Structure 1
């Protein structure tokens, strides 16, 4: 049997064309993070001959994939040579497949890749650096300040190990800061529609200017930052919370709306209760993952949502403080989604009997729903979803209904409620509708998880709703 390694180049061409076609058709099967199976890296890394064959076909290189866990030198010439082969835009993915790679080796290899990328960056519409060490990442300002990068539409600067202290970068002098401590520098024109970077890199970008984009919608993701203690009033420091808010205000001023995601963000101090400034920000979607309660309080207490309707608010692994007091009559879309995932649930003791129903031992779920009454409520892996919580959500005991517009509720892998609790929710909301016209009827119910057995009485209640309620009860028996 003939080995593929000794096939004639003409046959290799045919094989690689077929592999290229498959790589385009199976986009849904690609890994969520860069991997060595990505074409053409998976083929080009086999041997010099295969790489040489690939290099003779520019159409194979819509995505240039470089793994800095290996010597990137054989692939570097493709960054520039492709500029003459086609006018189609390119994507660049630079990643490390070895989580134990030496930091200084990753640093140096990534710097070499960037030096080869810089002169030809105009050809690339999407650039992704997904590395191990934060110190290996190029700065967003290094890329966005290049005139040839003005047409870049997506930039992702991601890492798994944050080896740079958030206080490493001293407060640099910013042009105009002597007159306005929150002045963020001159405008940086871009064509970005998606930007993901670390908090450290965001503030370095603030040193250089105020980001502007020609796109109607921008998705901004900020990961990992701990705000140090507030700077003294009147200094040119860019390390305090007000600079972030000013940056978001300026960003949303130039285009509407803005989608923002915060992950692993915290404050190193208690936020002040004396709010002196409000920043108007236009948001379509906002997400908080592993973010401290102090940061959430500071964020919502110092910002004002403009009239652009919200489409989604998401909290994951966050303790959610009371924020409804700062936002009344928020404009939302008719399909507004509130997503709550992995919300901590803390046992407390000594709760007075009259407050047991309201508190249910943890307020995070309640605080989120009171602040953002949803049309669609999605709750995933939250122990705080109990029968008492569902009773509160139904507006029982003549209490105010905090989610009057809710038409859909999804409960995924929440273990502490029963089928009876869900049926009570349905019955109480129907009872409220007969007295309060504005209250909507639940149209869809989804339950996924274990050990939520439906008894005959519960099933009969669900059958009563089958004409107006689409329900999916997909549960498995719990452990015996």
Structure 2
């Protein structure tokens, strides 16, 4: 009788996951080019945690695996938000890489469902963003790769936080559903605190944004402090 993945001994699974975690292809926060599936799904620990509940359960017992926070907002957020809560104390001393993406971007476009899909993505992104707020100081890279522009967090809003380790920020989407004219961009009031504290993001080296994000940043050119 063939062995099912759910019946593998926990000790064996832990050994396998340790090997996967150390593989170079699993440790990058960049997408895998040419992949037939949503590229971020190939990254560890998402690739393991999303396979089945048994594998997720094993990962939940090991905080060391959660230095890469990878969340698909097209699916149930609960297991991954639970992992953040369970390992909050340990993660407070770790350098983190965050990827928030939507695998729905590869689905056929359906204008009839656009409004509901947009609202669902925005709602889930807000939940994720709220959960991540307490970890921002530990982040070395943050990537939001979503379907809708309107779901992306504000570039200035993020950069107004103190993130001494942040080197890479990427905010991208596939559907641009916002006006990118200068008059349409509302900058959060607290962002202007950046003018008093230029060292909130002293390590920032790479910044990728949409047209809306660019126009937003033009109202406060944060990149002049990048080296």
Q: Which TM-score applies when normalising by structure 1?
A: 0.39
Q: Label 1:136 to 1:6 Cα distance change in 2 as closer, same or farther (>3 A).
A: same
Q: What is the alpha-carbon root mean square deviation over aligned residues?
A: 3.1
| 1:189-228 correspondence to structure 2 within 5 Å | 189=199, 190=201, 191-207=203-219, 209-211=220-222
Question: CA separation in 2, counterparts of 1:70 and 1:103?
Answer: 14
Aligned: 1:22 with 2:27: no
Question: CA separation in 1, counterparts of 2:226 and 2:80?
Answer: 38
Displacement over 4 Å in runs of 4+: 23-27, 171-175
Which of 88, 94, 115 pairs up with 1:88? 94
Aligned: 1:133 with 2:148: yes
Aligned: 1:186 with 2:173: no
Q: Helix, strand or coil: the match of 2:169?
A: strand
More strand by share: 1
Q: Which residue does 2:14 correspond to in 1?
A: 13
Which of 96, 100, 106 pairs up with 2:121? 106
Aligned: 1:164 with 2:178: yes
Unaligned runs of 5+ in 2: 108-113
Q: Label 1:26 to 1:144 Cα distance change in 2 as closer, same or farther (>3 A).
A: closer
Which of 65, 72, 76 pairs up with 2:70? 65
| 1:386-401 correspondence to structure 2 within 5 Å | none
CA contact (8 A) 1:71 1:109 kept: no
Question: CA separation in 2, counterparts of 1:8 and 1:117?
Answer: 33
Q: Which residue does 2:132 correspond to in 1?
A: 117
Q: Which residue does 1:4 correspond to in 2?
A: 5
Question: CA separation in 1, counterparts of 2:96 and 2:169?
Answer: 13
Q: Helix, strand or coil: the match of 2:42?
A: coil
Greater length-normalized contact order (CA 8 Å, ≥ 6 residues apart): 2
Question: CA separation in 2, counterparts of 1:105 and 1:78?
Answer: 22
Any idea what the Cα deviations from partners look like across 1:187-223, whole Å, max 9, x if unmatched? 543221111111212222344x4426xxxxxxxxxxx
Which of 19, 44, 69 pairs up with 2:49? 44
- The count of corresponding residues between Structure 1 and Structure 2 is 206
Question: CA separation in 1, counterparts of 2:120 and 2:97?
Answer: 24
Q: Which residue does 1:344 correspond to in 2?
A: none
1:35 Cα offset (Å)? 2.7
> Greater Rg, structure 1 or structure 2?
1
1:136 Cα offset (Å)? 0.9
Question: CA separation in 2, counterparts of 1:19 and 1:104?
Answer: 35
Question: CA separation in 2, counterparts of 1:93 and 1:107?
Answer: 16
Q: Helix, strand or coil: the match of 1:93?
A: strand
| 1:297-312 correspondence to structure 2 within 5 Å | none
Q: Helix, strand or coil: the match of 2:204?
A: coil
Any idea what the Cα deviations from partners look like across 1:248-298, whole Å, max 9, x if unmatched? xxx1xx566xxxxxxxxxxxxxxxxxxxxxxxxxxxxxxxxxxxxxxxxxx
Q: Which TM-score applies when normalising by structure 2?
A: 0.77
Q: Label 1:52 to 1:203 Cα distance change in 2 as closer, same or farther (>3 A).
A: same
1:42 Cα offset (Å)? 1.4
1:130 Cα offset (Å)? 0.6
Question: CA separation in 2, counterparts of 1:194 and 1:63?
Answer: 18
Question: CA separation in 2, counterparts of 1:130 and 1:171?
Answer: 20
Q: Helix, strand or coil: the match of 2:179?
A: coil
Q: Label 1:57 to 1:23 Cα distance change in 2 as closer, same or farther (>3 A).
A: farther
Q: Label 1:195 to 1:79 Cα distance change in 2 as closer, same or farther (>3 A).
A: farther
1:171 Cα offset (Å)? 6.7
Question: CA separation in 2, counterparts of 1:173 and 1:23?
Answer: 39
Aligned: 1:77 with 2:82: yes
More helix by share: 2
